[in-house]
Amino acid sequence: MKTPRSAQPITAETVQLLATLNGLELAPDRAAQLAPELQALLEIEAQLDALELDTLPATGLPWEPFTQGASPETMP
């Protein structure tokens, strides 16, 4: 079972802190504009995470999980 995310809303101060930690200077009014957008993205991410689709990993070649252990002799 996955650990639920914090229900705390994202504030302009949080956005400014994240920007500062990434070496960016962000004006308070711009941070206030970005906060609801970031909140929406995090909520969507949580909804997608809750689906638990058990999808294939997004690394390597797309067909790699289907051919592991296969050799040209055993491939159709």
Q: Per the domain annotation, does 19 fall within a domain?
A: yes
Q: Rounded CA gap, 69 and 57, in Å?
A: 17
Q: Per the domain annotation, does 76 fall within a domain?
A: no
Q: Per the domain annotation, does 22 fall within a domain?
A: yes
Q: Rounded CA gap, 71 and 39, in Å?
A: 48
Q: Per the domain annotation, does 7 fall within a domain?
A: no
For 10, counting Cβ atoms within 10 Å of its Cβ (0-12 exposed, 13-18 middle, 19+ buried), the class is buried
pTM: 0.57
Give the pLDDT of residue 10. 92
The total of other beta-carbon atoms located within 10 Å of residue 12's CB is 19
Q: Per the domain annotation, does 17 fall within a domain?
A: yes
Write out the residue range of the structural domain in which residue 48 sits.
Answer: 12-67
Q: Per the domain annotation, does 4 fall within a domain?
A: no
> Mean pLDDT for each 10-residue chunk of the chain (76 residues)?
62 95 95 95 87 64 61 59
Q: For the chain, how many structural domains are there in total?
A: 1
Q: Per the domain annotation, does 37 fall within a domain?
A: yes
